[in-house]
């Protein structure tokens, strides 16, 4: 039968239930009532309905766990109040009732190689030195309240809490495979429990006790930190378990860049001076729940569609006090009248008086890239002359910025900077050929997030040729007369000082006779011009 050393070897008589043998009992409780301590009750294949009250030391063995059923309707399906009871090779079920399917209020009992199906019921173990091993358990929760118990090598699935340890110590939880559930330990149950080699949804259940200065990165199914200091938990994907990350009596830990979805609770925290940031916590019963915890900092998290996004009864900070940035809450109903990405009114944290003073309006609002810049500068110039262009820089995160310029001639500036946010960023460039160029700029923040390119800014580059000019004025003796000369970009040759002027072909240029002393030839003036082509 493959019995373990903790199982009691039958010392007395054998009693039979079911089957066709003469004198066999028709009900299991009937055989129990007629047995003596140390006897063995063997149960043939069949379905046996009713509550079992085991009040003496017995061994109960089913013929085949797949075809030998114990089905309960009321109270407890099985109640064990005597020590040294061993059960194996049954399927134990309830039928829609909500309560405790198996209750063990005694010690030195063994459940081995049994299928336990209580979708709405619990298993309660309040005695000591019991062994629950090699079973397939489908139930609401296994409550462990006793000491020195062993729960090992079980397949535990579809539970609310999986195994819930409270007021218990010196227990061993090992080699269990949890599916859609996990382990939960209350803060009064932390003395000398051993948790090792368990998996949750095919990934390791990581249980860290009394450790410091460790980084836990990736590939866990569930994480529990107990009496720890300075542990970093990062880059974890924790789905469909009891609590994604449970922190108990621990401090100075960092929980960042993790994803927790469809758990009973995303993060359960009992500790102080811990930091929780940049996590996505969605579709859980509880998002982040703090119990008896103070001086923790929670910010830059996405809390999405949890039944209760948060719960906190003591004094903790739900935003970054330096950045003035909080979290994103899917049920936040405030507005953002100034368009800075942060809500105008705080988000209240249930359970006490805490609030997120700076709630974001969008998920990952702290990761928004810089806004598309607007570029400005001169509209035209001439070849081989440097011209300066500027863009406005806007980054809601307040990060320093870098800027890149595309000059439209096949060259770019590369990333220049850093520059402070909300500053005007300028750069100069010269073009060697005539043409119309599309200039663009873009921004990048410290996280490497880039803005869109600015809208193209058209810059017209001209060439210049030297030309002789000739103009006529109407009356050389008239004071204050204006002289107009057409079709040149003038560089006037004057006596003092020597002056330049730049004008397009076809443009009219006016000068006043008494303010510009030209070389006059009768009714005409002469000079030189750089004509812009």
Q: In whole numbers, what is the pLDDT of the chain averaged over residues?
A: 86
Helix (H, G, I), strand (E, B) or coil at 113: coil
Q: What is the pLDDT confidence band of residue 37, given thresholds at 50, 70 and 90? A: very high
Instruction: Kindly tell me the sign of the dihedral angle through the C-alpha atoms of 462, 465, 466, 470.
Output: negative
467 pLDDT band, cuts 50/70/90, is: low
pLDDT digits (tens, 9 = 90+) for 472-496: 444 544 444 444 444 343 433 333 3
pLDDT at residue 466 in the model: 58
pLDDT band at 156 (very low <50, low <70, confident <90, very high): very high
Give the CA distances from residue 179 to residues 14, 90, 105, 161, 194, in Å, rounded to whole numbers and listed in that order. Answer: 38, 21, 27, 11, 20
Percent of the chain with pLDDT over 70: 82
Mean per-residue pLDDT for 5-11?
42
pLDDT score, position 512: 44
Question: What is the predicted pLDDT for the residue at 80?
Answer: 97
What mean pLDDT is predicted for residues 401-430? Answer: 92
Minimum mean pLDDT range among 44-53, 101-110, 443-452: 443-452
DSSP H or E segment with residue 150: strand 150-152
Show the tokens assigned to 227: 């009496």
Give percent of the chain above pLDDT 90: 69
Comparing 28-32, 65-69, 391-395, the range with the smallest average pLDDT is 391-395
CATH of domain 202-367: 2.160.20
Q: Is the dihedral of CA 21, 22, 27, 28 positive or negative?
A: negative
Instruction: Examine the pLDDT at 523 and tell me if it is beyond 70.
Output: no
Count the alpha carbons within 13 Å of 122 in the hemisphere toward its beta carbon: 17
Separation between Cα atoms, residue 241 and residue 209, nearest integer Å: 20
pLDDT at 511 over 60: no
* Closest by CA position to 142, among listed 170, 161, 167: 161
pLDDT of residue 72: 87
Helix (H, G, I), strand (E, B) or coil at 338: coil
Q: Residue 515: its pLDDT value, please?
A: 40
Mind listing the pLDDT tens digit for each residue in 127-150?
Answer: 999 999 999 999 888 999 999 999
DSSP state of 500: -
What local confidence, expressed as pLDDT, does residue 279 receive?
Answer: 98
Lookup: tokens for 501 = 């002027």
pLDDT per residue as tens digits for the range 272-283: 999 999 999 999
The domain ranges of the chain are 1-200, 202-367, 368-462, 464-532
Residue found by looking up tokens 């921004």 in the block? 443
CB 287 within 8 A of CB 298: no
CA–CA dist 98, 121 (Å, integer)? 5
Q: What is the sign, positive or negative, of the torsion defined by CA atoms of 65, 66, 67, 72?
A: positive
Positive or negative, the CA dihedral 362, 367, 372, 375 is positive
Give the DSSP letter string of 224-277: EEES-EEEEEES-EEESSSEEEEEEEEES-EEES-EEESSSEEEEEEEES-EEE
pLDDT for 309-365, tens place per residue? 999 999 999 999 988 999 999 999 999 999 889 999 999 999 999 999 999 999 999
For residue 335, what pLDDT is reported? 96
Tell me which fold the domain 1-200 belongs to.
Pectate Lyase C-like (2.160.20)
Q: Do domains 202-367 and 368-462 have the same CATH topology?
A: no
Q: Which CATH architecture has domain 368-462?
A: Sandwich (2.60)
**Inter-residue contact 114 to 65 (CB < 8 Å):** yes
Report pTM: 0.75
Please compute the mean of the pLDDT values over residues 457-462 and round it to a whole number: 94
pLDDT recorded at residue 235 = 98
∠454-460-461 over CA atoms, to 5°? Answer: 120
Q: Is the dihedral of CA 32, 111, 124, 142 positive or negative?
A: negative
* Higher per-residue confidence, 95 vs 347: 347
Confidence grade of residue 532 (pLDDT, cut at 50, 70, 90): low
How much is the pLDDT for 374?
93
pLDDT: which is higher, 484 or 307: 307
């Amino acid at each position: 039968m493959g019995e373990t050393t903790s199982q009691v070897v039958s010392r007395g008589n054998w009693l039979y239930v079911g089957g066709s043998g003469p004198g066999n009992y028709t009900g299991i409780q009937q055989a129990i009532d007629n047995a003596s301590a140390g006897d063995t009750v063997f149960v043939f294949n069949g379905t046996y309905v009713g509550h079992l009250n085991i009040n003496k030391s017995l061994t109960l063995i089913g013929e085949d766990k797949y075809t030998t059923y114990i089905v309960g309707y009321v109270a407890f399906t099985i109640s064990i109040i005597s020590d040294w009871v061993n059960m194996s090779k049954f399927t134990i079920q309830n039928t829609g009732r909500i309560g405790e399917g198996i209750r063990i209020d005694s010690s030195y009992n063994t459940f081995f190689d049994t299928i336990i199906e209580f979708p709405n019921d619990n298993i309660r173990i309040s005695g000591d030195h019991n062994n629950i091993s090699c079973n397939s358990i489908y139930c609401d929760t296994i409550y462990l309240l006793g000491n020195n118990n062993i729960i090992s090598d079980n397949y535990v699935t579809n539970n609310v809490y999986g195994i819930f340890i409270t007021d218990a110590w010196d227990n061993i939880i090992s080699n269990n495979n949890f599916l859609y559930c996990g382990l939960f330990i209350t803060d009064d149950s932390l003395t000398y429990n051993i948790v090792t080699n368990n998996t949750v949804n095919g990934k390791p259940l990581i249980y860290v006790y009394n450790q410091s200065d460790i980084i836990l990165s990736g590939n866990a199914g569930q994480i529990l930190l107990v009496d720890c200091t300075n542990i970093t938990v990062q880059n974890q994907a924790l789905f469909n378990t009891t609590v994604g990350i449970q922190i108990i009596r621990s401090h100075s830990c960092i929980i960042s860049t993790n994803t927790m979805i469809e758990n009973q609770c995303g993060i359960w925290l009992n500790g102080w001076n811990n930091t929780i940031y940049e996590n996505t916590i969605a579709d859980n019963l509880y998002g982040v729940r703090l119990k008896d915890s103070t001086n923790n900092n929670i910010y830059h998290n996405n809390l999405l569609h949890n039944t209760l996004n948060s719960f906190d009864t003591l004094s903790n900070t739900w935003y970054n006090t330096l950045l003035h940035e909080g979290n994103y809450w899917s049920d936040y109903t405030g507005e953002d009248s100034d368009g800075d990405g942060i809500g105008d009114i705080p988000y209240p944290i249930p359970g006490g008086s805490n609030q997120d003073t700076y709630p974001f309006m969008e998920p990952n609002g702290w990761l928004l890239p810089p806004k598309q810049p607007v570029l400005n500068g001169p509209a035209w110039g001439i070849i081989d002359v440097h011209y300066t262009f500027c863009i406005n820089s806007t980054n809601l995160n307040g990060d320093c910025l870098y800027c890149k310029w595309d000059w439209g001639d096949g060259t770019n500036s590369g990333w220049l900077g850093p520059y402070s946010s909300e500053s005007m960023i300028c750069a100069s460039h010269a073009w060697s050929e005539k043409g119309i160029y599309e200039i663009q700029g873009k921004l990048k923040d410290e996280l490497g997030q880039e803005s869109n390119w600015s809208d193209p800014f058209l810059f017209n580059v001209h060439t210049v040729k030297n030309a002789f000019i000739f103009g006529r004025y109407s009356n050389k003796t008239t004071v204050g007369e204006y002289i107009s000369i057409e079709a040149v970009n003038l560089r006037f040759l004057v006596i003092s000082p020597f002056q330049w002027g730049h004008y397009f072909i076809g443009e009219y240029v006016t000068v006043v006779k008494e303010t510009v002393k030209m070389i006059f030839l009768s009714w005409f003036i002469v000079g030189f011009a750089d004509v812009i082509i």
